Every structure is written in structure tokens, then in C-alpha cells.
Amino acid sequence: MTMQLAAMLSRWEPQRDADEWILGTVYQTEGSSYRKPGAMSLISSGGEQLGLLSGGCLEADIRLNARKVMASDIPMCIRYDGDDEDDLSYRLGIGCGGVVHVLLEPVNAENNYQGLLDIQRSLADRQSGYLKQHIPAPGAVSLPSQYAVESVLTRKREKSRLDVVDGENWLISHITPAPHLLIAGGGIDAQPVVALANQLGWETTVWDPRPANARDEFFHMADHRLRCPVEELSQWVRDAAVNAAMLMTHSVPMDAQSLSAVAGCGLDYVGLLGPTHRREEVFVEAGLSDEEYQPRVDGPAGFDIGGELPESIALSVIAKCHDAIFGAAAIGATAKQE
């Protein structure tokens, strides 16, 4: 199971009433830390934990405190200081050396499951939204979490932040769906691309109308397998909220058709397999301008890590795609738009 929130909630939802559950959330950090504000974990009375709030060093103590919250049904805030020799986290050998603040709160029908069912439905529908979690002062009454869906899908995730509203502290977390990657081409070298994206918790669609390609037995890990005409691909990209595409059909005409199909769909990343001269051929075949195409096509796709085998190429491609969606340049571009 991945650490993606959607995967965690899918695992939790069927057993939400079978066990007692505690939601752990990192709500503030000082200095360096493994997980950042907004990171979540679900801990059950049966001993199951979904997700991590540290690199692993704090999890045992977090689970012990979760038991206390189950017994009292009262939320708890914990502070771990990796620089304080008297602090538990220092003795546990926390490697980052920073300060981590964690909120533990019960999750049940009485508190509307802290909005987690609403979030699960939102992510399944590929909608983004904002979760507000109350950070209670010591001895104060805890207020229920609130989740609101955005009217338009926002793909770039904002950093979680602490806000003060009417004298109460609230953690505001931006919840967005995992990336949805379209792979045009169902050859052997596309398999590790799909597998690696799947391991990251991304949604994947493989499109290839050729009968010998994208066979179910080789692409069973893909969420969707399409054999529709290329004319129907643009509508699928929009309806399924695809935000990245890797074109690797090994056919100049088919890559050109795919490039045309995803043009104007507002993707964050488009990768094109093959050398520079082939890229030029694809653009000529598509009748499109390389300079005007948005986003700028990554071709040859991926970072140059010296890879030759399909697995190495998949690693470089997925890394470049990840950088385009979540990297500093992507976040900076979003900040400028705002």
C-alpha cells in the first residue's frame, strides 16, 4: 500500500466501524523533519497503522498515545523535540533533529469520521478541497473537522498552514487527487512505467488500439486500459482529469495523433520517447508548433541518468514527471499565478 491518502482511505473505509480508529496529523514542524504539516496516519485498535508521521522512529510512541486517546475519547497534542536531550524523540534517535507537533483525534460516526468519508468521495471523483482540523488548547473542547470541495479541480497542492479563527487554531490542509498519468503505447517498455506510477499511488491509463499491445495480462496493474479511436482520447483526458502523459507508441503517426489529442487539455507534463530528430518528426506529422505547444514537451523524455533498460528509463521518466508536478518549479509557477 502507498502513502497516498486515497489508498489509505480505501483501506480504512470498509473497516471504519469494525475497530476504533485514531487519526494522527502532523500540524506543525520546526527545523527539519521527515514528514511535513498535513501528513496523516490512521491507527486502529487492532494494531493496524496506515501511513507514517515520521521516518519510523516516532511511530511506536505515537501508537502508544493513540491507545490513550481511544480510552479517553479526547484528542491529544504531542510535541517531539529532536534537539532536546530530555525529550523522548531525542532518546529515540530521531535523525532530523527538528521539532514535530502531532495531533491525535478519534475517528468515528459521532464526529462524522473527521470528514474522511467526504475526502474519500472527493478524491474518488478527482476533486480537490480543503480540510480544516481544530488544534485544541490544553483542556479545551475539541471542535469537529470541516471539509469543503473546491468548485474547480486544483492540481497543485498548497502547503498546509496554521490559521487562527476566532481565537481558535486550525490546520488548513489542501487535499488534491494523486496524479493521473496517461501512457500512450502498450509495448514492453511501458510496463515498468505503469508499475512504477502504480507504486507511487498514481492513477494510470494505458491507451493503445493495436490488438497485440496493452494486453490485460501484461498491464493488469493499470487502472484503465483503452482501445478507443484516438478521436475519443481528448474527451477521456478531460473527463478523467488526466494531468500527465507519456507518449511511447514507437510509431511516429500514433505519437503525433496522441500529441494532438492531449493538446489544450491543460496537462502538467507531456513526455515523448525517442531522440531529438524523432521529436521533430512527430511535431511535423502532427502539424503542431514545438515552440508554442503547452506544456513544453519533454523529449527525449526523462532525466539523463545513463539508463538503457526499460526499468531505468521508466525511473527517469517518472522522476521528471514527478518534478514537473510537485517540484520547486511547479510550485513557483503556481505561486506566481496566485
* In a shared domain, residues 170 and 188: no
Instruction: Check if the beta carbon of residue 32 is closer than 8 Å to that of residue 63.
Output: no
Instruction: Check if the beta carbon of residue 166 is closer than 8 Å to that of residue 132.
Output: no
Task: Choose among 215, 228, 213: nearest CA to 261.
Answer: 228
pLDDT at 98: 83
* In a shared domain, residues 198 and 326: yes
* In a shared domain, residues 83 and 220: no
Residue 86's Cβ-count burial label (10 Å; 0-12, 13-18, 19+) is: exposed
For the stretch 218-241, pLDDT in tens is 999 999 999 999 999 999 999 999
* In a shared domain, residues 199 and 322: yes
Instruction: Check if the beta carbon of residue 98 is closer than 8 Å to that of residue 30.
Output: yes
> CB count, 10 Å around CB of 56?
11
Last residue of a domain, one of 156, 175, 194: 175
> All 3 cell numbers of residue 246?
507519456
**3-class SS of residue 318:** helix
* In a shared domain, residues 135 and 236: no
pLDDT at 138: 87
Q: How many domains does the chain have?
A: 2
Residue 282's Cβ-count burial label (10 Å; 0-12, 13-18, 19+) is: buried
For the stretch 80-121, pLDDT in tens is 987 655 555 444 555 566 899 999 999 999 999 999 999 999
Instruction: Check if the beta carbon of residue 23 is closer than 8 Å to that of residue 44.
Output: no
Cα end-to-end distance, the chain, whole Å: 34
* In a shared domain, residues 137 and 19: yes
Instruction: Check if the beta carbon of residue 143 is closer than 8 Å to that of residue 134.
Output: yes
Question: Residue 324 falls within a domain, yes or no?
Answer: yes
Strand partners, 49: 43
Helices and strands of the chain, counted as H and E runs: 10, 14
Indicate the residue type of 249. Answer: T
Q: What angle do CA 332, 337, 338 make, to 5 degrees?
A: 95
Question: Residue 337 falls within a domain, yes or no?
Answer: no
CA distance 330 to 321: 11
Q: Where are the alpha helices (DSSP H) in the chain?
A: 5-12, 59-72, 88-91, 116-124, 191-199, 233-239, 252-262, 276-286, 310-326, 328-337
Question: Residue 136 falls within a domain, yes or no?
Answer: yes
Last residue of a domain, one of 175, 208, 226: 175
pLDDT at 206: 98
* In a shared domain, residues 218 and 242: yes
Q: Which residues contact 14 (CB under 8 A, 6 or more apart)?
A: none
Helices 116-124 and 5-12 pack at an angle, to 10 degrees, of 120
* In a shared domain, residues 250 and 316: yes
**3-class SS of residue 324:** helix
* Domain CATH for 316: 3.40.50.720
Question: Residue 338 falls within a domain, yes or no?
Answer: no
Question: Residue 336 falls within a domain, yes or no?
Answer: no
CA distance 18 to 199: 28
* In a shared domain, residues 110 and 161: yes
* In a shared domain, residues 250 and 113: no
Question: Going edge to edge, which strands form the sheet with 146-149?
Answer: 146-149, 129-135, 168-175, 161-165
Strand partners, 271: 246, 298
pLDDT at 34: 82
Give me the tens of pLDDT residue by residue for the chain, a chain 338 residues long.
567 899 999 999 999 999 999 999 999 999 888 889 999 999 999 999 999 998 888 899 999 999 999 999 999 999 998 765 555 544 455 556 689 999 999 999 999 999 999 999 999 999 999 999 999 998 888 998 999 999 888 878 899 999 999 899 999 999 999 999 999 999 999 999 999 999 999 999 999 999 999 999 999 999 999 999 999 999 999 999 999 999 999 999 999 999 999 999 999 999 999 999 999 999 999 999 999 999 999 999 999 999 889 999 999 999 999 999 988 765 544 444 44
* In a shared domain, residues 62 and 31: yes
pLDDT at 85: 52
Give the single-character DSSP code of 106.
Answer: E
Last residue of a domain, one of 149, 175, 201: 175
Residue matched to cell numbers 492540481:
155
CA distance 225 to 229: 13
pLDDT at 86: 52
Instruction: Check if the beta carbon of residue 198 is closer than 8 Å to that of residue 217.
Output: no
Count the residues in the chain: 338
Give the single-character DSSP code of 111.
Answer: G
* In a shared domain, residues 171 and 189: no
Domain that holds residue 75: 5-175
Instruction: Check if the beta carbon of residue 10 is closer than 8 Å to that of residue 37.
Output: no
pLDDT at 96: 63
